[in-house]
């Protein structure tokens, strides 16, 4: 793959390449002369220690336990109050202190040293997150505002396989309102600190909250409200599987109905709060730079999302250079197809596949194509992987309460035993996209992207349990973007148009580097950012608006994609260069995906050790 490495890009931007590694600790310590047996014994002791610590964390974070497929505390929500957040931080401070007191990092083998570094790094990240908590109040995020995220968790994450599970589900239904109330209190503290959610997000909270309490059982007729429909479906499946009797099903449904009815007043309080925020909700220039000490917050957000110390200016310049490179590759591909340049190719596709309003028939056809592409990609994996996914994957429509025109597709991996499949969620409001995008989107979100990475991560063996649960944006999104290129090597792109739109997707991620930093560090307005994403990022207006609003409310998150991909490609080029004919792409890809989600510098160390292991002794 032709591409600009991070080191080269930083050099061109006048910055030291070593900046990439500054965010993670203790990169180059040795094993301290320990014998293999002594190291492994110490590793086993370390793993037992960290596993016990992780169990303590799960007691403080019951939603993470549920996401991992655990049954424990499936009737409780995480405590998102200040006190709850501080309790988790104080536990982590104590945990890292205990680790450093009980273990000498130098006496651990490489895999255990990676886990040691990650556990220590998580304290640094937790300190930053807590310090800047006011900048991310519970209703602020375009993707993760709790008015939609809590119902989404119940519907798509909380598995119900027996009556006890349904009782836990119902208990969470009944306590959902209390979490919303805490969210209001936390948001008021953010407002008092001068941090107001943008007007578009407040309007979205109002609209989404109304959806949650519209329909049955709140009214006598009409369609079921989202949570009532889900509760009925879950109980129906239990009944069909013979897990509950008719009487038990009726009792569970009655309890669920009471829980659903109980969310009406809390959601009405959310709506009243949000309506009160509207007059002071900002529009236009709403990035971090517009907030009190916002540039400090944005630097922290970049560090959290990229696991590097790259500055906003460095990320911005990197984005500009990647945009230029990718556009040249598009021109070359368009000329190969007989067109003057990339614009002529885009124009030809637009005339053949104009944006069309979604209908139920078109939705069904696209979902069919999405799922067929996932299946085809799975069949091609053995050309670049030995380690293959085993659980089911499916593509579904985004739930109605969170669906927006132009919304970005997203994915969730399967749970640990595969009872909840990996899923890709597609927004199907507004107008259609060019079908040539389908293959690349499924490579990124599905297989071999997010869903496959999640499938392998939840089945990791021989490493501390936390390694199957933790997620790093730069690794996860970098991996998914790297797999778009892998799909080219696999032969997934069946025509020139789909390969051209692979480059289009990469261009989009490069444009994100420019746009995110433009919004948060350079004072771009929402309209400026949307205009750039339309003209340079090549997004349709609805999607450009949705994307920009996501960037505004999740500073730094969108930069992880390209930063992570560039690092994974840089490490692959290094392995190819140093190993020559001994380089095995299957072994490299297995290593990167098999390590699970890692900070980028920890990943680099793992690759370096792998390269060394592949070289002849002496």
Written as six digits, the tokens of 250 are 């009726």
Question: pTM (2 decimals)?
Answer: 0.85
Query: Does the pLDDT of residue 31 top 60, yes or no?
Result: no
Query: Does the pLDDT of residue 196 top 70, yes or no?
Result: yes
Q: Which CATH architecture has domain 36-135?
A: Up-down Bundle (1.20)
Q: How confident is the model at residue 618 (pLDDT cuts 50, 70, 90)?
A: low
The more confidently predicted of residues 19 and 130 is 130
Edge-to-edge order in the sheet of strand 393-397: 393-397, 422-426, 410-412
Q: How confident is the model at residue 110 (pLDDT cuts 50, 70, 90)?
A: confident
Residue spans per domain, the chain: 36-135, 146-194+199-281, 296-565
pLDDT number for residue 468: 83
Residues 6+ apart with CB under 8 A from 358: 428, 429, 430, 431, 432
Residues 6+ apart with CB under 8 A from 277: 187, 191, 196, 197, 202
Query: Does the pLDDT of residue 30 top 60, yes or no?
Result: no
Q: How confident is the model at residue 27 (pLDDT cuts 50, 70, 90)?
A: very low
Cβ–Cβ < 8 Å for 385, 584 = no
Closest CA to 141 of 104, 183, 99: 183
pLDDT in tens, 286-331: 999 999 999 999 999 999 999 999 999 999 999 999 999 999 999 9
Q: How confident is the model at residue 34 (pLDDT cuts 50, 70, 90)?
A: low
Written as six digits, the tokens of 553 are 């409310």
Cβ-based neighbour number of residue 63 at 10 Å: 19
Q: Which of 82-91, 103-112, 339-348, 514-523 has the lowest mean pLDDT?
A: 103-112
Query: Does the pLDDT of residue 11 top 50, yes or no?
Result: no
pLDDT in tens, 132-162: 999 999 999 988 999 999 999 999 999 999 9
Query: Does the pLDDT of residue 32 top 70, yes or no?
Result: no
pLDDT number for residue 35: 66
Residue 253, CA distances (Å) to 51, 75, 231, 360, 398 in order: 37, 16, 7, 30, 25
Percent helix, strand, coil in the chain, to 5, is: 65, 5, 30
How much is the mean pLDDT over the chain? 92
Q: Which of 163-172, 363-372, 399-408, 451-460 has the lowest mean pLDDT?
A: 399-408
Q: How confident is the model at residue 193 (pLDDT cuts 50, 70, 90)?
A: very high
């Amino acid at each position: 793959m032709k591409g600009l490495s991070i080191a080269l890009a930083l050099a061109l931007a006048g910055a030291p390449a070593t900046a990439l590694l500054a965010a993670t600790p203790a990169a180059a310590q040795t094993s301290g002369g320990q014998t293999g047996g002594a190291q492994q014994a110490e590793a086993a002791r370390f793993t037992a220690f960290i596993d016990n610590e992780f169990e303590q964390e799960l007691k403080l974070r019951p939603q993470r336990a549920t996401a991992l497929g655990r049954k424990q505390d499936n009737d409780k929500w995480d405590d998102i109050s200040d006190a709850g957040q501080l309790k988790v931080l104080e536990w982590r401070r104590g945990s890292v202190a205990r680790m450093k007191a009980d273990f000498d990092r130098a006496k651990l083998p490489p895999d255990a040293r990676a886990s040691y570094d990650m556990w220590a790094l998580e304290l640094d990240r937790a300190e930053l997150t807590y310090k800047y908590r006011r900048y991310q109040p519970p209703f602020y995020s375009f993707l993760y505002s709790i008015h939609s995220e809590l119902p989404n968790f119940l519907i798509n994450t909380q598995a119900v396989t027996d009556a006890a599970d349904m009782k836990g589900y119902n208990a969470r239904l009944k306590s959902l309102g209390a979490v919303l109330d805490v969210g209001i209190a936390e948001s008021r503290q953010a407002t008092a600190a001068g941090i107001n959610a943008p007007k578009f997000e407040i309007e979205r909270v109002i609209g989404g909250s109304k959806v949650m309490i519209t329909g049955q059982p709140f009214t006598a007729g009409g369609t079921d409200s989202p949570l009532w429909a889900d509760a009925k479906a879950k109980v129906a499946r239990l009944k069909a599987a013979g897990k509950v009797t008719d009487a038990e099903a009726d009792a569970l449904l009655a309890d669920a109905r009471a829980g659903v009815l109980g969310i009406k007043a809390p959601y009405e309080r959310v709506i009243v709060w949000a309506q009160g925020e509207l007059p002071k909700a900002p529009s236009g220039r709403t990035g971090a730079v517009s907030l009190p000490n916002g540039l400090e917050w944005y630097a922290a957000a970049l560090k959290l999302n990229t696991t590097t110390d790259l500055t906003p200016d460095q990320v911005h310049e990197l984005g500009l250079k990647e945009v230029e490179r990718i556009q040249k590759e598009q021109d070359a591909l368009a000329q190969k197809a007989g067109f003057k340049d990339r614009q002529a190719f885009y124009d030809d596709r637009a005339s053949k596949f104009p944006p069309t309003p979604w209908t139920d028939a078109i939705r069904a056809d696209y979902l069919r194509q999405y799922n067929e592409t996932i299946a085809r990609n799975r069949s091609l994996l053995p050309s670049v992987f030995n380690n293959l996914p085993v659980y089911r994957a499916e593509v579904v429509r985004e739930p109605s309460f969170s669906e927006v025109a132009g919304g970005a597709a997203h994915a969730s991996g399967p749970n640990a035993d595969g009872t909840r499949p990996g899923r890709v969620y597609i927004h199907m409001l507004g107008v259609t996209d060019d079908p040539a995008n389908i293959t690349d989107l499924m490579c990124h979100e599905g297989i071999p992207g997010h869903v496959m990475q999640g499938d392998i991560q939840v089945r990791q063996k021989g490493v501390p349990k936390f390694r199957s649960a933790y997620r790093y944006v730069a690794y996860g999104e970098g991996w998914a973007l790297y797999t778009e290129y892998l799909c080219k090597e696999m032969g997934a792109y069946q025509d020139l148009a789909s390969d051209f739109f692979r480059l289009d997707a990469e261009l989009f991620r490069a444009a994100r580097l420019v746009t995110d930093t433009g919004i948060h560090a350079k004072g771009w307005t929402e309209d400026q950012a949307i205009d750039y994403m339309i003209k340079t990022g090549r997004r349709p207006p609805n999607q450009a608006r949705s994307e920009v609003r996501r960037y505004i409310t999740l500073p730094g998150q969108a930069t992880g994609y390209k930063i992570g991909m560039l690092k994974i490609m840089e490490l692959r080029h290094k392995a190819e260069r140093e190993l020559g004919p001994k380089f095995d792409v299957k072994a490299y890809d297995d290593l990167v995906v098999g390590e699970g989600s890692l900070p980028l510098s920890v990943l680099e160390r793992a690759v370096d050790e792998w390269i060394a292991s592949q070289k002849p002794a002496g």
